[in-house]
Every structure is written in structure tokens, then in C-alpha cells.
Amino acid sequence: MTVILSHGYYIYEDAKEQKIMKPYPPLGILYISAWLEKHGLQHEVFDTTFSKKEIFKDHIKKQQPSILALYTNLMTKVNINETIQHTKKHSAGTKIVLGGPDVRHNVEDYLNIGADIIVIGEGEQTMLEIIQTIQQGNDQEFAHIDGLAYRSQGEVIQTKERTRIRPIDDLPLPNRKMIDMQPYLDTWKQNHGKSAMTISTQRGCPYTCKWCSTAVYGQSYRRRSPALVAQEMKTLKDNYNPDTIWFVDDVFSVSHKWLEDFKDELKKQDAIIPFECITRADRMTEEVIDWLVEAGCFRIWIGAESGSQRVINLMDRRVDVNYVSDMIKLTKKKGIEAGTFIMLGYPGETEEDIFMTVDYLKDCQPNHFTITVAYPIKGTSMYQEIEADQVYDKDWATSTDRDRDFKRTYSRQYYDYALRWVDNETRWHQFLVAKNYLNVTALKHVLKAFYFRNKMRYAK
């Protein structure tokens, strides 16, 4: 019985990623792989990141797997659909299992394009039971397994929610040996001078930001023990020697007790590796920042999403924008780089709110910032609030949620210009503060800021 775990991401077709070249391995698949290995089930992981579509298709055709399990998100849905169609045509006996954040709220859609089983929520135990069931000769009925959906005699059957794994220390470390890690390390090293790897210390998020999806782990919070995470870092240090670690957690400093114990464990196990992470300003204090310094943190991303408190409240972020600014300043003062995230075009946002966002960025002067235009993800509170105002006329199977739009305060073109204005206006200000504005790059930013500000006026 051949079982293949894979996903649908290919770096060669991602123009944006080719500019930044910061790929990470499919950590969720590697967790499932480790769980299957722990229970003695043989399987293969086919990592598509550095591969090509035709290579993967040929592999499926040659192997004729009994089960093909694919991780799916809103960005890979189109590729997953293509893989399903190829598999149905060239490996008709293969059961196709899908999991990931995009499937919970699109169960019937995925079944309609050819998926056989949809794993809803946490996937390790559900995937194990699916394989065991098929091994026993039953490849049609799965109602006895929690946390999935399938079609039986034309009817969509969805079983009860899977109980989440507790404690998550029961999870073995991600099965990184199942894929070639070297291309990831080399790509980072060649493009940024430092290699990087990823670690997850928690599952779920206890906060209620309206635009954020909780489709896999729900609104929960489960944390691996500080000792076990330190052990994982020590293992990576000994086996791969990465220059940096990216913690993929939503709010790294949510528990101050955990963080204090973690920095102690890192010292105890000689496991310190420079790292970056994401957190919330309201879970930061001067003491927390000092602990992060001791643990080896070199960069921390502190979410604000907007410089307007009114918009932050609309998002249900539950944070004070002035405190976010204060924590960014204090983080920089303590020697850690600070980054922040900005979202434009949130429902109800006005031009005045965008001006306040620029003022916020100029005031706190983060080392790094990213800007996106808000879009509705199915299943989120934001999606539900604006569902009646959405504009989406594309075929579901060949488009993504990023193709969804809604009736905004201004046109979508306005926000595209606004994004470029905020970016260039903020970067010009950085040169101004540094008194380094008489150079070509600085002048380019001020000219672009002037240009896009005028485009905003016309689009408005």
C-alpha cells in the first residue's frame, strides 16, 4: 500500500517569492508524517516546493498510490484541483484526501472537483485512522472517523469534530528527514547570507481578530513545553546548524511564564539560535523584551494592522495603537529589530484612517513593515459581515479568495495606489529622519509618494 503526502506549492511559478526567496518546508505535512511513523505506517513525502508540476504528475502516474493526501490552502487550490484531475485520469484507484485551512468552509466544493475525503481540523490522528481503515479493506465508508467529510451514495457525510491532541507534547518532532532540507538552507544562504528553518511551539490562537482564519486549530491555545521546544532547537543546531529560526506561532509571547522558562531551557541545553517571531503589543513588557533578548531574538513582528484606533476596533484587535508604537520603539531600543503589519482597505476604512496609518509608521519607525489590501477569507467574521457586499464572479475551482472583492469605501484601484503611497511615503520619511535624503533611492521614494498620492486623488 503506497501513501503519498504532498502539497501544491511550486516556487518556480510564484513570481513574488522569486523576488524575496524565503521558502520554508511544509511543516504541517512533516508533523503528520511523524505521527504516521510513530504508529508504524510507511509512507512517502513528496515536497513540491523545488520540483515541477510535470515531475509530480509523472510520479503519481508511476506510483499509482493507494492514498494521495494533499495539504491545501487558498493560494494552492488551483494547483490542487489540477493534481486531482490528473490523478483521477492516470491513477483511478487512488483515494484523494485533502486537508488544510481552505477545506473546512469549502467541503462540498472540494468533493465536487474529485476529492474523496476531506480532513477537517487537526490532521494527524484523522489521517492515521483513514489509512488504517483503507488498509483493512474498507475504502468507501468513513463515518466512524471523527473530523472528516466524504460522499456516500451521493450524500455528503460530515462526522463530528475531532478532539484536539492534548497535551501536544505527545506529538513527535516534525519528520524533517523525509524531505531534502538542503535546498531551503541553500536558498536562504545564497539570497540573504543566512540560512533559516521553522519551528512551531503552539497550536491555535486565543484572540478574535475578524480577518484571521481559525479553520484548522480553532480559537484555542495549546503550547509545547519549553524543554521540548529547546530540545528541538538543539536537534536542529546539531543536525542542520541553521543561522536563524522563524517561529511560525501567531503570538509567541502570549504566556510570560512559558517564555521565561523557555529562555532558561535554551541556556541549559545550549540550544540558542538567533530567531524571529510574531506577537501582540499587549503581550509585551520591558521584562518580556529582555527575556527575548536573552533567548536570542533578533527580530520581532508586532501586529497593529492600522494606525487608526477606530479601524483596529472594527477588526476586534483589542489593542491600543499607541501602546503598539511604544513597544516597537522599546524593542528597537533594546537592540531587537521591530517589524509591523499593515492592512489597507478594511471595511469602513476612510482616507483619514490611512493618513493616521502613515503617521503611525512615521512615529514608531519600524525596521520592517509589510502592507496588504484586505480581502475576505471564507469562515472569518469579516467574511460574514460583508458577505452581502461581496463581488465574486469567477469559477471557484480556478480562482482563490484573493480574487474576492467587496464594496469598499473607495475603488479597489484607489487602495492599490494607497498601498504604494503608504510604502513610499514611509520609506522617504526614514531617509529624512536619518538625514540621508540626498541620494537617488530617497529621491525615488519621494517622487513615487507624490505620484501615487495624486493617483489616489484621481481614483477617489
Q: CATH number for the domain including 150?
A: 3.40.50.280
Statement to judge: residues 152 and 198 lie in one domain:
no
Terminal-residue alpha carbon distance, the chain: 60
Cα 22 from Cα 183, distance rounded (Å):
11
Task: Decide if 426 is inside a domain.
Answer: no
- Among 292, 309, 337, which residue terminates a domain? 337
The packing angle between helices 286-295 and 321-333, to 10°, is 40
User: Which pLDDT belongs to residue 79?
Assistant: 96
Segments forming the whole domain that contains residue 82: 3-158
Task: Decide if 167 is inside a domain.
Answer: no
Task: Decide if 407 is inside a domain.
Answer: no
Cα 350 from Cα 147, distance rounded (Å):
41
- Among 310, 337, 364, which residue terminates a domain? 337
**How far lies 22's CA from each of 106, 191, 342, in Å?**
29, 8, 20
* Segment-wise mean pLDDT, segments of 10 residues, the chain, 460 residues: 96 93 97 98 98 98 98 93 97 97 95 97 97 96 98 96 93 98 97 98 92 86 97 98 97 97 98 98 97 98 95 95 97 98 96 98 97 91 89 79 83 95 96 88 96 96
Statement to judge: residues 33 and 154 lie in one domain:
yes
- Among 158, 183, 208, which residue terminates a domain? 158
User: Which pLDDT belongs to residue 95?
Assistant: 98
Q: Which residues contact 357 (CB under 8 A, 6 or more apart)?
A: 306, 307, 308, 342, 344, 422
Statement to judge: residues 24 and 137 lie in one domain:
yes
What is this structure's pTM? Answer: 0.95
User: Which pLDDT belongs to residue 398?
Assistant: 83
Q: How many residues does the chain have?
A: 460
Task: Decide if 212 is inside a domain.
Answer: yes
Q: If DSSP codes are grouped into helix, strand and coil, which group holds residue 447? A: helix
User: Which pLDDT belongs to residue 346?
Assistant: 95
The DSSP bridge pattern shows strands 390-391 and 405-406 to be antiparallel
CATH of the domain at 301: 3.20.20.70
Statement to judge: residues 210 and 69 lie in one domain:
no
Nearest to 300 by CA among 327, 263, 272, 318: 327
Statement to judge: residues 13 and 145 lie in one domain:
yes
User: Which pLDDT belongs to residue 217?
Assistant: 87
Statement to judge: residues 203 and 330 lie in one domain:
yes
Statement to judge: residues 202 and 67 lie in one domain:
no
Give how many domains the chain has, as a whole number.
2
User: Which pLDDT belongs to residue 362?
Assistant: 97
Statement to judge: residues 143 and 210 lie in one domain:
no
Task: Decide if 321 is inside a domain.
Answer: yes
Task: Decide if 121 is inside a domain.
Answer: yes
Instruction: List the beta bridge partners of residue 68.
Output: 4, 96
Statement to judge: residues 306 and 216 lie in one domain:
yes
Task: Decide if 291 is inside a domain.
Answer: yes
Task: Decide if 63 is inside a domain.
Answer: yes
Statement to judge: residues 83 and 154 lie in one domain:
yes
Buried b (16+ CB within 10 A) or exposed e, 198-210: bbbbbbbbebebb
Statement to judge: residues 148 and 213 lie in one domain:
no
Statement to judge: residues 209 and 92 lie in one domain:
no
